[in-house]
């Protein structure tokens, strides 16, 4: 009896406290005090959605995106503060509120100097998938730790997107495994029935090319549509948002990224898929509204990074974008590094061959035996910087605890120096793309607005519509969501 009384009391105090905090924060966010705690927070990531897609010159939004823009609260200045601006690092920032220097997720993959190989952001040394390299709790972990009955579910076509949205110990994380051609989860945990259902019923067009002949839905539409169905099934099967403990549901649509890489932003193919995403988000909102039946929920639309237009496209030409062959780029950077270091460190032939361990943009990993201790490195790096900056495609070079370089991008570089990061970060000139002509397509990852600026919009029954033009770093997003959920 004693324990029960204590539990009841403590639960009551806790509720009062978090309602108070929630009201406080929401009064700031919405300008309204009449607000109840949301029972469901839905994070919607559209992979590779540039911020300027919201004002897309060739698209009139008619469905979900239109509703979110017209009725939501837009944080117009939202941008990432790290490099590379890619999928894994972006998804980790969204849910942890921390930059790669803290999360340890410094990219989709990185160089491991000890084992002389690349490491994937969500795979351990045994080849198992999971959040092993994520060094801080996600929003979901904080929610479950505060209210253990809360549920946290993340789904995506990509493993890294789902896993990093889920955090360290989510209720369920589901992604699509291309090798097995089915939805899967962690090897140690059973696939819930609602996900197995989809493995039996994947549409036959699933594997067809991105686009079919005119008028027909391509595989990309189907992939994102099926993912939405998986999410909705999870929401209903797990009864998300139906009790007093708030739940967190996250979905990351991947096809915009696949199409954007291949055809570039503002292409016919990309525009077509954005219209499809608009419809898919329309259905998502309709389903959530009907499921929550007037109950409190919040949907947040955002993205993990943007993308550079194709240099060969009319827009790319107009903007003066340049493509550089990776081979040529690596050779010029490596030669410059070795020549400058040979002078400074008196390297012999054998040492020259091992001086540069790996160039994996934006990082350069150097041989630590040769570059000496921290005090010696600064002088060496200064010399390397001077020579590298003479290459016509490089703007600036950064390293840990660098002194004297305080341009607007140096904070972004410093936020990206985890122990897994390289010794140097290269900032290429704006509009330069290092990607082979043979591979074609385009990429993201740079410091610049086209890669770092993304949409952030809060939408829900009690969110007051508007545009917030204050500076907004993407690390602020998790902080806002935490306050919304009453987390300290
Ligand atoms: Zn991505």
Q: Ligand 1 mean position to 45 CA, how many Å? A: 9
pLDDT at 419: 96
Q: What is the rounded distance in angstroms from the CA atom of residue 367 to the CA atom of residue 422?
A: 10
Domains recognised in the chain with CATH numbers: 25-308+451-484 (3.40.720.10), 322-434 (3.30.1360.150)
> Left if phi > 0, otherwise alpha if psi is -120 to 50, otherwise beta: which for 181?
left
Distance of CA 78 to CAs 251, 468, 485, Å?
20, 10, 21
pLDDT at 9: 35
The values of phi and psi at residue 101, to 5°, are -55, -30
Q: Ligand 1 mean position to 3 CA, how many Å? A: 48
Structure tokens at 31: 């300008």
Q: Ligand 1 mean position to 87 CA, how many Å? A: 3
Task: Identify residues whose C-beta is under 5 A from ligand 1, the ion.
Answer: 47, 87, 257, 304
Q: Ligand 1 mean position to 47 CA, how many Å? A: 5
Q: Ligand 1 mean position to 445 CA, how many Å? A: 10
Q: Ligand 1 mean position to 35 CA, how many Å? A: 34
Mean pLDDT by 10 residues, the chain (488 residues): 34 39 48 63 98 94 98 97 98 98 98 95 96 98 97 97 98 91 87 86 61 57 91 97 96 96 95 96 98 94 98 96 97 98 94 97 96 86 97 97 90 97 98 94 98 98 94 97 92
> Left if phi > 0, otherwise alpha if psi is -120 to 50, otherwise beta: which for 185?
beta
pLDDT at 204: 66
pLDDT at 161: 98
Q: Ligand 1 mean position to 349 CA, how many Å? A: 40
Q: Ligand 1 mean position to 107 CA, how many Å? A: 10
Q: Ligand 1 mean position to 414 CA, how many Å? A: 22
End-to-end CA distance of the chain: 30
- Which residues lie below 8 Å from residue 302, measured CB to CB, with a gap of 6+? 43, 44, 45, 46, 49, 78, 94, 454, 455, 456, 457, 474, 477
Q: What is the rounded distance in angstroms from the CA atom of residue 163 to the CA atom of residue 160?
A: 5
Q: Ligand 1 mean position to 82 CA, how many Å? A: 14
Q: Ligand 1 mean position to 367 CA, how many Å? A: 30
Nearest Cα neighbor of 50 from 487, 465, 438, 454 is 454
Q: Ligand 1 mean position to 157 CA, how many Å? A: 11
Locate tokens 């309204």: which residue?
32
Q: Ligand 1 mean position to 91 CA, how many Å? A: 8
The values of phi and psi at residue 153, to 5°, are -130, 135
Cis before 246 (ω within 30)? no
Q: Ligand 1 mean position to 303 CA, how many Å? A: 8
Nearest Cα neighbor of 109 from 137, 82, 136, 87 is 87
pLDDT at 405: 86
Q: Ligand 1 mean position to 48 CA, how many Å? A: 5
Q: Ligand 1 mean position to 257 CA, how many Å? A: 6
Q: Ligand 1 mean position to 89 CA, how many Å? A: 9
Q: Ligand 1 mean position to 317 CA, how many Å? A: 24
Q: Which helix (H) or strand (E) holds 46?
A: strand 40-46
């Amino acid at each position: 009896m004693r324990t029960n009384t204590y539990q009841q009391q403590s639960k009551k105090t806790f509720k009062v406290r978090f309602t108070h905090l929630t009201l406080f924060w929401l009064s700031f966010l919405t300008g309204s005090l009449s607000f109840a705690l949301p029972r469901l927070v839905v994070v919607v990531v559209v992979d590779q959605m540039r911020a300027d897609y919201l004002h897309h010159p060739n698209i009139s939004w008619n469905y979900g995106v239109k509703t979110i823009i017209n009725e939501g609260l837009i944080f117009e200045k939202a941008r990432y503060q790290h490099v590379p601006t890619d999928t894994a690092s972006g998804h980790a920032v969204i849910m942890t509120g921390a930059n790669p220097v803290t999360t340890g997720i410094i990219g989709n993959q990185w160089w491991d100097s000890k084992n002389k190989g690349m490491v994937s952001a969500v795979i351990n040394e045994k080849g198992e998938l999971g959040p092993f390299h994520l060094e801080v709790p996600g929003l979901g972990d904080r929610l479950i730790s505060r209210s253990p009955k809360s549920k946290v579910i993340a789904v995506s076509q990509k493993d890294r997107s789902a896993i990093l949205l889920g955090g360290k110990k989510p209720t369920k994380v589901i992604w699509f495994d291309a090798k097995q051609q089915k939805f899967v989860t962690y090897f140690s945990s059973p696939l819930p029935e609602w996900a197995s259902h989809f493995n039996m019923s994947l549409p036959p067009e699933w594997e067809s090319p991105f686009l079919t002949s005119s008028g027909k839905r391509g595989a990309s539409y189907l992939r994102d549509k099926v993912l939405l169905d998986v999410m909705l099934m999870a929401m209903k099967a797990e009864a998300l948002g139906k009790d007093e403990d708030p739940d967190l549901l996250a979905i990351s649509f991947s096809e915009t990224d696949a199409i954007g890489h291949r055809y570039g932003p503002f292409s016919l193919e990309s525009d077509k898929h954005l219209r499809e995403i608009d419809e898919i988000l329309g259905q998502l909102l309709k389903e959530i509204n009907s499921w929550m039946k007037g109950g409190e929920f919040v949907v947040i639309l955002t993205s993990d990074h943007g993308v550079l237009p194709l240099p060969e496209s009319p827009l790319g030409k107009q903007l003066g974008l340049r493509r550089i062959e990776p081979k040529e780029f690596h050779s010029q950077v490596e030669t410059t590094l070795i020549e400058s270091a040979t002078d400074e460190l008196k390297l012999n032939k054998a040492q020259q061959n091992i001086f540069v361990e790996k160039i994996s943009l934006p990082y350069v990993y150097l041989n630590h035996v040769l570059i000496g201790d921290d005090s010696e490195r600064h002088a060496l790096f200064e010399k390397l910087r001077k020579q590298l900056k003479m290459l016509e495609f490089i703007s600036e070079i950064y390293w840990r605890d660098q002194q004297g370089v305080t341009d607007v991008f140096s904070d972004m570089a410093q936020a990206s120096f985890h122990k897994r990061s390289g010794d140097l970060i290269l900032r290429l000139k704006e509009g330069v793309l290092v990607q082979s002509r043979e591979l074609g397509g385009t990429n993201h990852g740079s410091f610049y607005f086209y890669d770092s600026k993304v949409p952030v919009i809060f939408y829900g029954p009690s969110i007051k519509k508007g545009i917030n033009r204050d500076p907004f770093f993407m690390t602020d997003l998790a902080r806002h969501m935490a306050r919304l959920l009453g987390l300290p």
